[in-house]
Amino acid sequence: MAGTSDDNSTYLLLYAIRALVARHCGFSPEAERLTIQYANKGHFRRYKFSGGHIDPRHWGACHEELGFYIPVDFERNTVKYVRLPAPEATSYTTRLRLDDLLEPFYSPAYVEMREVRLARDDVLSMLRELGLLSSSEQPPASEPSPPPLPSPSSPQTSEQEPEPQPPAGRVTLKWWLPGALRRWPHDTTDTGGLDYIEFLQSKAPKKWERRSFQNELSLLRQTETGMAKLSKPKNFGKRRS
């Protein structure tokens, strides 16, 4: 399955898959979540790539206690496997016991799967299974141009971005939260003395419980693109004492 495809209508890069799915589900973070969810189910059996191989059934994995992460980067069309040193795992003793048992069978501590493409037909079958695409509907075969990668020094401008509309007019925490995290980044937002979750609750269009925020944040960290998860502050999402 390794290699790259010359036929863009047969295999799509991850950024193109996100754009295609988002046109039908209404929101890019939801498109990423659905794609990873179906990858974990073994739906995508045809794929092409360069570099190391990472089974799609494990994409998006986040085992903080063991120091294992497999983030999917839809912007750069990459999937990475990262195994931190045992002292950096949150459950050090459990990780040591695991190392004693499995170290002879470990893959390298860092693997990168590049230029990842999935079979377009498999993506369309996912949309049909979700009820987002009719059996007779056939989206254009052309692949969108790659998006420009954000510059680390670029100022935050998301405050002026218009609010996307929820699919079918239903506002759920799962839909609302990814946009809120981009609009009010954890590291740069003045929360006015509130902890971050309390601040998000104050901005939310509905009254969702703190536990609901914690659960959704945990799920988002598993599917977050890039390596942002590894730099998450230790007190993220915890109530101040």
pLDDT of 159 > 70? The answer is no
Select the more confidently predicted residue: 92 or 221.
92
Residue 172 lies in a domain: yes
Q: What is the pLDDT of residue 31?
A: 92
Q: What is the pLDDT of residue 175?
A: 75
Select the more confidently predicted residue: 1 or 215.
215
Residue 76 lies in a domain: no
Count of domains forming the chain: 1
Residue 179 lies in a domain: yes
Residue 19 lies in a domain: no
Q: pLDDT tens digits, residue range 209-223? A: 888 888 777 767 655
Residue 23 lies in a domain: no
Q: Considering the chain, what percentage of its residues have pLDDT values greater than 70?
A: 74
Residue 206 lies in a domain: yes
Q: What is the overall mean pLDDT for the chain? A: 79
- What is the rounded average pLDDT of the residues 29-57? 95
Q: What is the pLDDT of residue 239?
A: 53
Q: How far apart are CA 87 and CA 66, in angstroms?
A: 10
Q: pLDDT tens digits, residue range 169-213? A: 456 787 778 888 888 888 888 888 888 889 888 988 888 888 888
Residues in CB range of 71: below 8 A, 6 or more apart: 60, 62, 79, 80, 82, 224, 225, 226, 227, 229
Select the more confidently predicted residue: 171 or 154.
171
- What is the rounded average pLDDT of the residues 55-66? 92
Residues in CB range of 81: below 8 A, 6 or more apart: 52, 54, 68, 69, 70, 107, 110, 111, 112
Residue 127 lies in a domain: no
pLDDT of 225 > 50? The answer is no
> How confident is residue 232, by pLDDT bands cut at 50, 70 and 90?
very low
Residue 117 lies in a domain: no
> How confident is residue 228, by pLDDT bands cut at 50, 70 and 90?
very low
Which residues span the domain enclosing 175?
Answer: 168-241
